[in-house]
Amino acid sequence: MEYISIMFMQGLSFLELKYHTLLSYLINLSHVVLRKVSGASIYNEPCIDRLVELRTVLERLRPIDKRLKYQIDKLVKTAVTGESSDASSFRANPDNMVSKLDEDADENEDEDAATEKKSVYVPPKLAPVRYDGDESAASRQEKLLERAKRRALSSAMVRELREEFLDAPTELGSRVDSGAGPSGPSKEDRERQEYEETYFTRLPETKDKRKKRKLPTIGSLANELTNFESDFRVLEGEVMPTKKRKSSKKPTGKKGKKGFKKRKSR
Amino acid sequence: MSNRLLNRKQMVVDVIHPGQASIAKTVIREKLAKMYKAPADTIFVFGFKTAFGGGKTTGFGLIYDTLDFAKKFEPKYRLARHGLYERPKTTRKQRKERKNRMKKVRGTKKTKVGAAAAKK
């Protein structure tokens, strides 16, 4: 097979290249078919190599060809109809922009786009939950144990023992509203005090605060007396602290305040 | 702490009065006047809460540089407590009725309508 030498002045045109490769491909293919039909083997034929080479070239040409397709079609159309002076014939054709394949996907996309435009983006209502992923099981147990120990140390039994055996003067139960707990004011009380002092305002008393002020804490006293066993065990050894079940647990259900859903933390 | 933006000194006032009832605000103002060498009329105290069990009261105190600054920055109800401000005696209902009467008239007649009808 001789390669036809091509005379080119301004470089090889894309279309010329395409046609020449196609032609060579067809010639080689017909040669292979001839050999097969006449019973000869095509093992180690140079034809096959050439075919493969030409095939790869064609494959590479295909995306470029696809991009040029539109222009080429337009030019061909004008050449056929003969109206090349009319510039409006080159205007955009919106029907061609819609893909004729995958019609279902396109319809869905349009619907989604429409609904998105109408409604404002609403973020999902999920209550923020503490992230425990980086904490190993051992460290978590350690922390629980530490917390249980601290709670045990400040329990009623231990406080009474301390009063009995130490020589410190007895401190009477001061201020119910702030400084209520055994370790001074609770976190809420401290925060409220800080806020009031920085902003020079008095925050009004909340409903539960008012209730708490009215009711004496008889119910909690009995619990303190009966739970001292577990506290002492924790202080001594490595016994795992059992979870304290709150007697008055409100049935909150799936949705909490303001309709926020709580997701499982693990 | 001195608040230069509002030309005043502001503080939390802790009053310890074992065995007595809560102390009157006027007495507290006089004490503060002596402590900070400021005229008592520029001192405003408010928000006093007695702790449970008695004996200690906590509140807030502001000491203005001059009375003019006090009149400028203090809320009206606190000035009224000192007699430096008088609330208009018109009730909300009367004000709204006056406004609605004025809506019916155009121009300078509005003032006449308002004044005349309000005397009813």
Give me the residue from A174, A197, A201 closest to B53, CB to CB: A174
Kindly determine whether residue A178 and residue B51, on different chains, have CB atoms separated by under 8 Å.
yes
B67, B38 Cβ separation under 8 angstroms: no
CB B63 within 8 A of CB B36: yes
Q: How far is CA A153 from each of CA A149, A160, A183, B118, rounded to the nearest angstrom?
A: 6, 11, 11, 72
Task: Convert the pLDDT of each residue in A214-236 to its tens digit.
Answer: 776 666 666 666 766 666 777 77
CA-nearest residue to A203 within chain B is B47
pLDDT at A250 over 60: no
CB contact under 8 A, A176 and B52: yes
Chain B residues with beta carbon closer than 8 angstroms to that of A197 = 12
Q: What is the mean pLDDT of chain A?
A: 77
Q: Chains A, B: CB contacts under 8 A, how many? A: 19
Query: What are the pLDDT tens digits along chain B (120 aa)?
Result: 999 999 999 999 999 998 889 999 999 999 999 999 999 999 999 999 998 778 899 999 999 999 999 999 999 999 999 999 999 899 999 999 999 999 998 888 877 776 655 555
A175, A200, A201 ranked by CB distance to B52: nearest: A175
Three-state SS sequence of A94-110: HHHHCCCCCHHHHHHHH
Q: How confident is the model at residue A257 (pLDDT cuts 50, 70, 90)?
A: low
Q: What pLDDT, in 10s, does the model give residues A65-115? A: 899 888 888 888 888 877 656 666 667 778 777 776 665 555 555 555 555
> Scanning every residue of chain A, which has its alpha carbon at the shortest distance from the alpha carbon of B62?
A200
Alpha carbons B48 and B58: distance in angstroms, whole number: 5
C-beta separation of B48 from B58 below 8 A: yes
Give per-residue pLDDT as tens, A134-162. Answer: 888 888 889 988 988 888 887 767 778 88
pLDDT score of A131 = 85
Confidence (pLDDT) at A194: 93
Check CB contact under 8 Å for A197 and B51: no
Could you read off the pLDDT of A14-52 as tens digits, one per residue? 888 898 999 999 999 999 999 999 998 888 888 999 999
User: Which of B45, B60, B78 has the most A C-beta neighbours within 10 Å, making it the best mutation to test the interface with A?
Assistant: B60
Out of A6-15, A116-125, A249-258, B29-38, give the one with best mean pLDDT: B29-38
Q: Are A177 and B52 in contact (CB under 8 A)?
A: yes
Do residues A176 and B52 touch, judged by C-beta distance below 8 A? yes
pLDDT attached to residue A252:
56
Burial zone of A181 (CB within 10 Å; 0-12 exposed, 13-18 middle, 19+ buried): exposed
Contact between A202 and B10 using a beta-carbon 8 Å cutoff: no
| B chain contacts of residue A177, beta-carbon cutoff 8 Å | 51-52
A212 Cβ contact partners less than 8 Å away, ≥ 6 residues apart: none
CA distance B115 to chain A (A): 40
Contact A176 B12 (CB under 8 A): no
Q: Tell me what pLDDT residue B83 has.
A: 94
Among A205-209, A217-221, A241-245, B94-98, the minimum mean pLDDT is found in: A241-245
